[in-house]
Amino acid sequence: MVTVRFFAMLKKFAGAETREFDVKAPLTLEEFKEVLKKEVPGLSAVLDGRSLLISVNQEFAGKGAVIKDGDEVALLPPFSGG
């Protein structure tokens, strides 16, 4: 299972704070985003936008990132701390 965490306004789009996805074989970040769009259509526009950051196991993930069973993914809208 891959756990995906949603923060701030994205919890509303996803309808939950976390969701679990069954990932048999490792996926690239782009492939995983396609899975997310299909499973959670409300996130499509956000996932296609330029302002979203994604972390894998609490590290910022670049395009080359690979997602595999057991990973924790998070969708991070622009930060507004401080």
Partner 1 sequence: MEGEGNAMAELVRIQTEGFSVEETVEEVKKASRGIGAVVSFLGVGRDVSKGKEIEGLDFEHYPGMAEKKLKDIRQRALKNFDITEMAIVHRTGAIDIGEDIVLIVAASAHRNDAFMACEWAITELKRTTPIWKRETTREGEVWVSETP
For position 55 contacting partner 1 by CB under 8 A, the verdict is: yes
Cβ(40)–Cβ(16) below 8 Å: no
Minimum distance of partner 1 from residue 28's CB (angstroms): 21
Q: Classify strands 72-76 and 2-6 as parallel, antiparallel or unpaired.
A: parallel
Token readout for 9 is 């306004």
For position 49 contacting partner 1 by CB under 8 A, the verdict is: no
With respect to partner 1, which residue has the nearer C-beta, 37 or 77? 77
Q: Which stretch, 19-27, 34-42, 61-69, 74-82, contacts partner 1 (CB under 8 A)?
A: 74-82
Note the Cα 11 to chain centre separation in Å: 11
d(CA 24, CA 33): 15
Question: Given the rule CB under 8 A, which residues bind partner 1?
Answer: 5, 7-9, 51, 55, 58, 74, 76-82
